[in-house]
Amino acid sequence: MEKKLSVVVSVYNEEQALPMFYETTKLILEILPWDYELLFVNDGSRDDSLSILREYAARDEKVKVVSFSRNFGHEAAMIAGIDYADGDGIVCMDADLQHPPECLPEIVRKFEEGCGVISMVRTKNKSAGLIKNITSAGFYWVINTLSEVKFEPNASDFFAVSREAAEVLRKNYREKVRFLRGYVQSIGFQKTTITYEAHDRVAGESKYSIRKLLAFSMNTIMCFSNLPLKLGIYAGAFAGLLGVAVMIYTLFTRQGAPSGYATIVILNCFMFAILFLIVGIIGEYIAILFSELKDRPIYIVEETQNVEKKSV
């Protein structure tokens, strides 16, 4: 029986990039030894992306479209694509051609060698800019320092999983606050990496602002590490030692009635800064727990095309 490759593509306001992506990717998929499907997930686009996808699906039965009722975010789009894909291997990538379709033949070869998880690692990314490259390197350093799970630096949302690995993601990794590429690297299976050079966007602009990336980074750290919750213990011990040191200093240096005003003010500011930091961290963890307890859907599908049934 011929194997099938599912290419999951997250789409949000990509009307300018879609024609080039579709033509380029289809040419490569046609020469692969596997059958294929192109599964586009429309993440509540406000431009004509959905109309373009409907047109592709109407004339090409290998194009499948899953369209959300609103924008649920890139992570939700990738999860939905994995849910609806029915291939023996599943590749998640973006529609802006920064994730080169030319890597698909090598991904298929890795699947044929028995790999279950394939991480795509950027060699360089000029289009992201210096600030984002520095913050990305800093993020991976922090998460690898705090988490027991070690992540591949510069791994991206361009990755591939086997049918068996995808089934694990469908059934067991359904958090509302999530880091999908982190889950992919932590589920086990035979794993390998493929390096690629990120191309410039063919059109449009990045949907991730610095503010969104910062919030995403905070959620990721809290999904994979409980160490920030333990900062209270370390901060308390440090503050206690500092208090003892200040007390000894005051006893040995006082002359008459000690003034101590500056010391008290500094200590109070320091203590309250630590206290508010710990309270803020606890609040972030509680917010994540609250999101999970509400158990709202990760995404809501408004319409589909060429999709027979959900694969979960």
For every one of its 312 residues, what pLDDT tens digit does the chain have, with 9 covering 90 and above?
A: 689 999 999 999 898 889 999 999 999 999 999 999 999 999 989 999 999 999 999 999 999 999 999 988 888 899 999 999 999 999 999 888 888 899 999 999 999 998 998 988 887 655 555 566 666 666 666 666 666 666 666 667 889 999 999 998 888 877 776 677 777 777 878 888 888 887 776 555 555 555 655 665 666 666 656 666 666 667 766 766 776 676 676 666 655 545 665 667 667 767 777 777 777 777 777 776 776 676 778 889 999 998 876 644
Q: What is the pTM of this model?
A: 0.71
pLDDT at site 311? 47
Strands lying side by side in the sheet with 4-11: 191-196, 117-122, 155-162, 89-94, 4-11, 35-42, 63-68, 301-305
Q: Cα–Cα distance between 241 and 238 in angstroms, integer?
A: 5
Q: Which long-range contacts (CB under 8 A, 24 or more apart) does 240-246 make?
A: 242/267, 242/270, 243/267
Token duo for residue 16: 């300018």
Q: Which fold has domain 4-207+297-305?
A: Spore Coat Polysaccharide Biosynthesis Protein SpsA; Chain A (3.90.550)
Q: Quick one: which H or E segment has residue 36?
A: strand 35-42
Angle of helix 74-84 relative to helix 163-172, nearest 10 degrees, comes to 120
How far does Cα 225 stand from its chain's mean position? 15
What SS3 string covers 72-137? Answer: CCHHHHHHHHHHHCCCCEEEEEECCCCCCHHHHHHHHHHHHCCCCEEEEEECCCHHHCHHHHHHHH
Give 200's DSSP letter: P
